[in-house]
Structure 1
């Protein structure tokens, strides 16, 4: 979902043309990936959280239907990443009222509950149509899904979580992310479904950018 779409409903983006199916995943397809067309190369490198290897960052928003659809594709892809690639998620808030969703993620992270609960949040919003946009309603939902209500609220309101939301904004701004889901590669590049042509192809581009990062 593009940044501009957050001002007026949930209209879907329309991606560019993808490569022919018989090229997908081949060396020919990767050779066709171009900066400015399939991915963005940053003028100024952004900080990474690891000094070694390659870092991949998923920028996402719980309220984004494309992020919800991307989740199973991304999960399968992450499981196959090489040992030298570190993956992490960064929740994005293009509007102030979406900061609550950033704090949901970072509170779950602080409690060690991302693995069991992250996908349930997406499911609750996009399948069950629950409005997880008010702290008490969110805490009640967490309690119903096995997360201690008091501990969740403590984490949600903590200085550490508030600090991480500010850092997330700084990183998304540094990458100049204009929509989600998007993948930042090693602080140097980013791609997305709207840039690459499809969510599936964005993962192929990310593979290319991981290999490119190793050579620099």
Structure 2
């Protein structure tokens, strides 16, 4: 009877052990050499490094939105626009303009769609000013924000963080300033948030 009970316990523990060992540094995610401080130590911070013009970011976006719907109270999600090329700067500025105006959540899907579905060229200040006009943002208000101290300061801060993370491409998901998850490390976009959830739990246990 004791042997049977021991075997039953062992059979229950095996799946748990396999799940716990499913991801590790280099398998699912990459550990960041020097962890980057998060804005709220009482929460697990998850940050997506992205670019509106990136087709992979566009493909990941529905998964991001679906995952965010059930975001726990102890998880803080943020977006961080990257500037890895000359053509990326306008989009990073557009993100911060929209964020400062409180409309980023309203334009996000439409901006991705305009770039990747409608194939519109939105890589300039003029083109973006026209795009923002659809959301009751006057051209004058847009241009004031576009080259403002607030936007440029946030761009500098974002660049410093991305360098500290060691990120070299998009999309990339940073978990609590300690781990980098990408389609490459997670073996596909569809598995990214499985790894992210694993890392969130890992941080909770600490």
Structure-2-length-normalised TM-score: 0.88
Measured in 1, the distance between the counterparts of 2:123 and 2:143 equals 14
2:99 corresponds to 1:100: no
Give the corresponding residue for 2:190.
200
What is the Cα deviation at residue 189 of structure 1?
Answer: 0.6
Measured in 2, the distance between the counterparts of 1:181 and 1:169 equals 15
2:145 corresponds to 1:175: no
Q: Which stretches in structure 1 are left out of the alignment for 5+ residues?
A: 1-25
What is the Cα deviation at residue 30 of structure 1?
Answer: 5.1
Give the corresponding residue for 2:21.
31
Q: Is this contact kept in 2: 1:30–1:204, CA < 8 A?
A: no
Q: Is this contact kept in 2: 1:111–1:152, CA < 8 A?
A: no
Measured in 2, the distance between the counterparts of 1:103 and 1:149 equals 15
Tell me which of 144, 147, 161 is aligned to 1:154: 144
Aligned residues: 191
Measured in 1, the distance between the counterparts of 2:110 and 2:201 equals 33
Q: Residue deviations 1:25-44, cap 9 Å, x none?
A: x8544531111121011121
Tell me which of 165, 180, 201 is aligned to 1:211: 201
Tell me which of 72, 76, 80 is aligned to 1:86: 76
What is the Cα deviation at residue 146 of structure 1?
Answer: 3.5
Give the corresponding residue for 1:56.
46
Superposition RMSD in Å: 1.4
Structure-1-length-normalised TM-score: 0.84
Runs in 1 of length 4+ with deviation above 3 angstroms? Answer: 26-30
Measured in 2, the distance between the counterparts of 1:196 and 1:181 equals 12
Q: Is this contact kept in 2: 1:35–1:41, CA < 8 A?
A: yes
Higher alpha-carbon deviation: 109-118 or 142-151: 142-151
**Bigger helix share:** 2
